[in-house]
Amino acid sequence: MKTDTLKWEELPNLPDAEGFAGSYAGVHNETLLVAGGANFPEKPLWEGGEKVWTDAVFALQPGAGQWEKAGRLPGPLGYGAAVSLPMGVMLIGGCNADGATAECLLLTYRDGKAVCEPLAPLPTPLTGHSAVLLGEDVYVFGGSVAPGEQDARNHLLVYSPATDSWNEQSPLPGRGRFLHQMATLGDKLYVLGGIGLKPGEDGRMQRDMLIEAWLYDADEGWQHLADLPRFCAAAPTPAPVLGGEIYLLGGDDGTVRLPASASHPGFHSAGLCYNPAADEWREIGEVAAARAVLPCAEWCGRAVIVNGEQSPGKRSNQVWTVCMD
């Protein structure tokens, strides 16, 4: 127990010594699937290590004591978004060493083997975006069209599994952003925090920490909610919804701005909770896994949080579950 409301438990570590940031995670045929992501396998970032993307797919059966190596993606990929659908896990966009992609894949798991099939691509390449399932459709918001953080989108894209097609809804009337959190509750979609951009003195765009929270309703459009009490980006997303409230568990709160190093203290281990009924935020204290840039998936009645960055350039291979105590 790390808070007075949540119960944390560890699953088996992912079978990689370093672990990954920016992986895809979802569930198909009752099996937890984790695919892609990137790490620094040869030497740390602060020693000049090179970021390497992976194409590995891992699978964990309910109650199993270890992960299986279940297959591979068509190529190395990470920093996109994933949504669990009845027909498989949809992997949406992302990037690799060659840049961002619009590619979308359906990842399925049968008889111990993971298989990828192509789906209709995004209308534009995206990385750093988030996605959620709302009703029967997949909603994708924000992100950048290329790595390097020189653009931030405020577009809302909707994918229909029934027709394998995309359409665009009304853009968010606020700032474009990436590494934000998203969640759904009932028929509402939430966009929470994240990173925007503003011009720097050198003419290039620089990060702008956002505390805005927004709600999207298909009938009523966008509504500005109570601001976060502090900045939060890159927390597990889709954000877990537990007991009718939305939880932002860790991520980057902007308080530690030191360069990557072996002595970096890591990301601040505090969490936030949003109560939609009251439109209010509260701090929830320490979380068990202080990580950033990582996926979350619902599995066996719990939220599963996979790997992520412990500090800039340093990954974790831990996998945690969280539920109401």
SS3 per-residue string spanning 263-293: CCCCCCCEEEEEECCCCEEEEEEECCCCCEC
- 299 forms bridges with which residues in the sheet? 302
Q: With contact defined as beta carbons under 8 Å apart, do 119 and 102 qualify?
A: no
pLDDT of residue 3: 44
- Global pTM value: 0.95
Q: Cα torsion at 52, 267, 94, 302 (round to 10°)? A: 110
Q: In the block, which residue shows the tokens 């279940």?
A: 70
Q: Say if strands 31-35 and 56-60 run parallel, antiparallel, or are unpaired.
A: antiparallel
| Geometric angle at alpha carbon 175, from 173 and 26, rounded to 5° | 95
Tens of each residue's pLDDT in the chain, 325 residues: 334 579 999 999 999 999 999 999 999 999 999 999 999 999 989 999 999 999 999 999 999 999 999 999 999 999 999 999 999 999 999 999 999 999 999 999 999 999 999 999 999 999 999 999 999 999 999 999 988 888 999 999 999 999 999 999 999 999 999 999 999 999 999 999 999 999 988 888 999 999 999 999 999 999 999 999 999 999 999 999 999 999 999 999 887 666 777 777 778 788 999 999 999 999 998 999 999 999 999 999 999 999 999 988 899 999 999 999 8
How far apart (Å, rounded) are the C-alpha atoms in residues 104 and 48?
Answer: 32
Q: With contact defined as beta carbons under 8 Å apart, do 310 and 290 qualify?
A: yes
Please indicate, yes or no, if residue 1 is contained in any of the structural domains: no
Amino acid identity for residue 140 in this structure: V
Q: With contact defined as beta carbons under 8 Å apart, do 256 and 265 qualify?
A: yes
- Give the three-state DSSP class for 139: strand
pLDDT of residue 259: 72
pLDDT of residue 213: 98
How far apart (Å, rounded) are the C-alpha atoms in residues 134 and 63?
Answer: 29
Kindly report the CATH number assigned to the domain that includes residue 219.
2.120.10.80
Please indicate, yes or no, if residue 318 is contained in any of the structural domains: yes
Q: CB 223: neighbour CB atoms within 10 A? A: 13
Please indicate, yes or no, if residue 172 is contained in any of the structural domains: yes
Please indicate, yes or no, if residue 276 is contained in any of the structural domains: yes
Distances (CA, A) of 54 to 43, 57, 257, 274, 307: 16, 9, 28, 34, 14
Please indicate, yes or no, if residue 260 is contained in any of the structural domains: yes
- 105 forms bridges with which residues in the sheet? 91, 118
pLDDT of residue 242: 95
Please indicate, yes or no, if residue 173 is contained in any of the structural domains: yes
How far apart (Å, rounded) are the C-alpha atoms in residues 147 and 280?
Answer: 34
User: How many structural domains does the chain have?
Assistant: 1
pLDDT of residue 261: 74
Token output for 111: 């008889």
How far apart (Å, rounded) are the C-alpha atoms in residues 96 and 37?
Answer: 9
Q: Which domain holds residue 148?
A: 6-324
Q: What's the DSSP call for residue 251?
A: -
Please indicate, yes or no, if residue 308 is contained in any of the structural domains: yes
> Residue 210: which residues within 8 A CB-CB, separation 6 or more?
175, 177, 180, 193, 194, 195, 196, 231, 233
